[in-house]
Amino acid sequence: MYICLEGIDGSGKSTQIALLEKWLKDFGYDVLRIFEPTNSPTGKLIREILKDPRATEDNFQKTLALLFAADRMILMETIKAAEGSGKAVISDRCFYSSIAYQNPQGVEDLNRKFYKDWLYEINKFVKKPDIVILLDLDVEKAISRCDGNDSFENKAFLEKIRNRYLELAKSNDFFVINANNGVNKVHTDIKMVISPKIGRCV
């Protein structure tokens, strides 16, 4: 089982993954926790570029799209090995983050489709998660939960990302959870998504 938590920064992915990992381990599951970008040299390069004030600009986004796809391809080996040994894999972000983030701003629909097709193409060999949980959070709340000083915490930008996530959720059967709620309520909602898949009660 490959589970991915998605959502804008501050939506509670790290918090909820820690709780989910503990819950699954209490049931006796062996869990592998992964995250994107990874700690590979490519992942480190991605983190450096993300700190650049120009990171949201179009050519930076294209570069990031390629680097994320490369970083993710290497991660597939880790996922395959974990699944082969019966582990549950929980990922902080996945391929869908690229579709939500590395998409150009302010271009007409035709170009956007052209670009989106390219994003799918460069991620063609990436394994899609079995379950995607989208933690949906109001942008203002996300900003107040974060420290407020990176280029991805711009309100208008985050609104676009949030809406793209919601579009993706519809067309890809994500489980959408209201992340405005308290930590325990969100955790319960996540357990309600996972428990039928593993034949357990919440």
Ligand X SMILES: Nc1ncnc2c1ncn2[C@@H]1O[C@H](COP(=O)(O)OP(=O)(O)O)[C@@H](O)[C@H]1O
Q: What does the binding site for Mg ion look like in residue numbers (CB under 5 A)?
A: 13-14
Can you tell me which of 12, 37, 43, 129 binds ligand X, judged by CB under 6 A? 12
What's the CA gap between 101 and 63, in Å, rounded? Answer: 12
What's the CA gap between 78 and 83, in Å, rounded? Answer: 9
Query: What residue 37 binds from Mg ion, ligand X, none (CB within 5 to 8 A, per partner kind)?
Result: none
- DSSP per-residue letters across 25-86: HHTT--EEEEESS-SSHHHHHHHHHHTSTTTTSHHHHHHHHHHHHHHHHHHHHHHHHHHHTT
186 is a contact residue toward ligand X (CB under 6 A): yes
Residue in the shown chain whose Cβ atom is closest to Mg ion = 14
Judged by CB under 6 A, which stretch of 13-21, 25-33, 114-122, 167-175 contacts ligand X? 13-21
37 is a contact residue toward ligand X (CB under 6 A): no
Going by their DSSP bridges, the two strands 31-35 and 88-92 should be labelled as parallel
Choose between 116 and 145: whose C-beta lies nearer to ligand X: 145
182 is a contact residue toward ligand X (CB under 6 A): yes
Q: Which amino acid is at 19?
A: L
Q: Given the rule CB under 6 A, which residues bind ligand X? A: 7, 9-15, 145, 182-183, 186
